[in-house]
Chains A and B, each alone.
Chain A
Amino acid sequence: MVKLVFLGKFRGLARDNAEVALPADVGTLAELKDWIVRRDPALGHAMAATQTQVIVNQSVVRDFSRRICEADEIAFLPPMSGG
């Protein structure tokens, strides 16, 4: 199981921020993104249409070939707009 977290405008498009069991063919972050597009096209489209940061276990990850580990928390962040 991994925990998926969708923030900002992605949150409303995602089914939920929850623990999910990934299919056996989803082993890397790139494969996870492809799986999200297949499972939730509207969310996948929104993620593809903007600059999306991926945070794994609260650290920024830029290498999408990184393998996903059991109990990882993987967050998808749209462009930020604080202040």
Chain B
Amino acid sequence: MQVRLTELPFDPQHEEAAFSAGRSEMGALVSFVGLCRGESPAVRGLHIDHYAGFTEKEVTRLAQDVAARFDCPDLLVVHRVGDILPGEAIVLVAALSRHRANAFDAVRVLMDYLKTDAPLWKRETGPDGARWIEPRAEDLARRAEAEGKRL
């Protein structure tokens, strides 16, 4: 289980390669990368606020919960905090498992939790200034669905 917050840009492929190196007992590596989207009206960038110490602790707890639920032996979370430019990776979630089904489920459900339960707050800067992003109804619905899955 590895959880890391970083203020610096990271290379998801490099992170994934390091995470899976030497794990020949695993039959599946599934990953998801969330990118900072530059859409119309032009988003100039994101800022992600966090609560130092508490955020790491909570994300680790969420990852441990998902790992136990899906019998997924190893998970990796790398999440940016601070200022992020369009095109940069915001988050990487990766799962290593003996079989693919557990790894797919673990990545999807952990992402659902990160959207609504991780102590992170996103502020978007566009042409009209900055605004804090509220959790979307769609994210809350996905999280509720994730909660019920395989319980």
Known: A7-B119, A7-B121. Is A79-B49 also a contact (CB below 8 A)?
no
Q: Kindly state the separation between the CA atoms of A11 and B79 in the bound complex, as whole angstroms.
A: 20
Q: Kindly state the separation between the CA atoms of A79 and B119 in the bound complex, as whole angstroms.
A: 8
Which of A5, A8, A55, A75 has a CB less than 8 Å from the CB of B121? A8
Question: When each residue 4-35 of chain A gets 1 if its CB lies under 8 Å from chain B and 0 otherwise, what string results?
Answer: 01011101000000000000000000000000
Contact B122 A81 (CB under 8 A): yes
Residues of chain A within 8 A of B117, CB atoms compared: 80
Contact B121 A80 (CB under 8 A): yes
Asked if B20 is at the interface (CB within 8 A of a chain A CB), the reply is no
Stretch with Cβ within 8 A of A (4 or more), from B9-17, B21-29, B51-59, B66-74: B51-59
Size of chain A's interface in residues, with CB distance under 8 A?
15
Contact A58 B49 (CB under 8 A): no
Asked if A77 is at the interface (CB within 8 A of a chain B CB), the reply is yes
Residues of chain B within 8 A of A83, CB atoms compared: 34, 79, 90-91, 111, 114-115, 118, 120
Residues of chain B within 8 A of A11, CB atoms compared: 49
A42 vs chain B, min Cβ distance (A)? 14
Contact B121 A9 (CB under 8 A): yes
Residues of chain A within 8 A of B53, CB atoms compared: 58
A17 vs chain B, min Cβ distance (A)? 10
Q: Kindly state the separation between the CA atoms of A55 and B53 in the bound complex, as whole angstroms.
A: 12
Contact B122 A82 (CB under 8 A): yes
A54 vs chain B, min Cβ distance (A)? 12
Known: A80-B118, A80-B119. Is A8-B54 also a contact (CB below 8 A)?
no
Residues of chain B within 8 A of A44, CB atoms compared: none
Contact A82 B51 (CB under 8 A): no
Asked if B48 is at the interface (CB within 8 A of a chain A CB), the reply is yes
Residues of chain A within 8 A of B115, CB atoms compared: 81-83
A-B CB contact pairs (8 Å), 6 listed? A77-B51, A80-B117, A82-B114, A82-B119, A82-B120, A83-B120
